[in-house]
Amino acid sequence: MGAKNSIYVCLLLILGIGLMIQGCSSDDADTNQIPQDQEGGTINEPFKPYVERFINEINQRGLNLSTEKLSVVFVDNITMPNSNQFCAYGYVNFQNSETPRVEVINSERCWGRWSETEKENLMFHELAHALLAFGHINGTLPNGSQKSLMCASETCNNYRVYNLYQKEQRSYYLDQLVNNRTEIPDWATENTFSRIVAEDSFDGGSEDWTTSIGDDLNNVMPYNFYIDNESVLSPSNALAIKSTSDSSTGAFGHWQKSFTVTDFENCSNILIRADIVTQGLVEGSVGIAIDLLERNMQNDFDFFARYSNAIRDLGAGTVSTENFEAKVICIPEETAAIRVLLYMNSVSKGTIATFDNLEIELFE
Ligand SMILES: [Zn+2]
């Protein structure tokens, strides 16, 4: 990282429900060049508002960036070789043409399905590669938040470094792009006080837990949801999901339940843990997702952000993972409830997951 004449690369590795984004290589630039738009760049229409916002934000902080020569384009494949697992790529010097360029795969998965704020997260990261020649910056602040928008570690999701309601955080991340020595902000001090918000060992059965199937169903019901009473981890019951057909269509199957959260400090952390037993998890994933919900004008709950963590490919046998964790760092004050999803996705027929001993802990 950081070699002067390197092309900064953004690696967007898509893994199941939670998009994990990682890695950045700075390979030496390729020597065989195809000259690109020498006159000026091409910025596809959907990217223009993000580019404009980025330039304004950065220039308000004392720099003098311009979009001259910048290209931000949809592509079917990332130009950089061996990059087909990435959703987007930022080049400071595209193919030695002295022009900055951002490429984004034109798909639902990489662009279409994301919210405005999530797209902005991605674009700001890529534009910082292309226009500020940044490499990746890993590490976390004392509360566990990413130190920089330029993160690329396993705990970093480049669509979700800040969310819709994290204006202060957004502002910090932009400051940090201009000044790497930006002080640790107040909201990022460590959350040391903890309390258990809820726990459930499912011994009363499924109670208020419901099941659902995600999109892309192809009219097949690939999962069977049931109460498992032979749980190996703790008697007597656990929630279970079994795939009844090959569910590689992308449909998620989940047990879900919402929990209200009240009287918490702004920017608290939520930690969810559960014991998970899998059988035959040779492909796909099993995990925990956490949706943040706000109250709307009708006093109903509306979704505004999702976080998750997954277990993958443990093999054909029975594997138990105790205290598997998923978390949300810095939940904003607007959060009125969280929805916990215990899920299975894109596994082969006969895969089983059981979930037991759920705990929700709040750190503030
Ligand atoms: Zn990157």
Question: How far does the centroid of ligand 1 lie from the alpha carbon of residue 64, in Å?
Answer: 22
The pLDDT of residue 17:
33
For the stretch 141-183, pLDDT in tens is 999 999 999 999 888 999 999 999 999 999 999 999 999 888 9
Asked if 82 and 180 sit in the same domain, the reply is yes
- The mean pLDDT value for 18-30 works out to 33
For the stretch 252-274, pLDDT in tens is 999 999 999 999 999 999 999 99
Question: How far does the centroid of ligand 1 lie from the alpha carbon of residue 11, in Å?
Answer: 6
**Average pLDDT score, the chain:** 87
Residue 27 lies in a domain: no
Question: How far does the centroid of ligand 1 lie from the alpha carbon of residue 290, in Å?
Answer: 25
The pLDDT of residue 217:
57
Q: Which domain covers residue 178, as residue numbers?
A: 45-188
**Residue 235 pLDDT > 90:** no
pLDDT bracket for residue 232 (50, 70, 90): low
Asked if 200 and 165 sit in the same domain, the reply is no
Question: How far does the centroid of ligand 1 lie from the alpha carbon of residue 154, in Å?
Answer: 13
Query: Could you give the residue ranges of the DSSP H alpha helices within the chain?
Result: 48-60, 116-132, 167-178
Question: How far does the centroid of ligand 1 lie from the alpha carbon of residue 126, in Å?
Answer: 6
Question: How far does the centroid of ligand 1 lie from the alpha carbon of residue 35, in Å?
Answer: 24
The pLDDT of residue 32:
38
Among residues 161, 188, 215, the one where a domain terminates is 188
Question: How far does the centroid of ligand 1 lie from the alpha carbon of residue 134, in Å?
Answer: 9
- The mean pLDDT value for 222-240 works out to 85
Question: How far does the centroid of ligand 1 lie from the alpha carbon of residue 86, in Å?
Answer: 10
Asked if 142 and 281 sit in the same domain, the reply is no
**Residue 88 pLDDT > 90:** yes
Q: What is the CATH number of the domain that holds 212?
A: 2.60.120.260
Asked if 181 and 227 sit in the same domain, the reply is no
Contact between 30 and 109 (Cβ < 8 Å)? no
Pairing of strands 252-260, 315-331: unpaired
Asked if 180 and 213 sit in the same domain, the reply is no
Residue 4 lies in a domain: no
What's the number of domains the chain is made of? 2
Question: How far does the centroid of ligand 1 lie from the alpha carbon of residue 124, in Å?
Answer: 10
Closest CA to 116 of 146, 159, 76, 57: 159
- The mean pLDDT value for 84-110 works out to 94
For the stretch 183-207, pLDDT in tens is 999 999 999 999 999 999 998 888 8
**Residue 19 pLDDT > 80:** no
Question: How far does the centroid of ligand 1 lie from the alpha carbon of residue 79, in Å?
Answer: 15
Neighbours of 264 (CB within 10 A): 18
Q: Quote the pTM value.
A: 0.82
Among residues 131, 156, 188, the one where a domain terminates is 188
Asked if 207 and 351 sit in the same domain, the reply is yes
Asked if 180 and 211 sit in the same domain, the reply is no
The DSSP element (H or E) to which 10 belongs, if any, is none
Asked if 210 and 244 sit in the same domain, the reply is yes
Asked if 355 and 248 sit in the same domain, the reply is yes
For the stretch 306-320, pLDDT in tens is 999 999 988 889 999
Among residues 188, 203, 220, the one where a domain terminates is 188
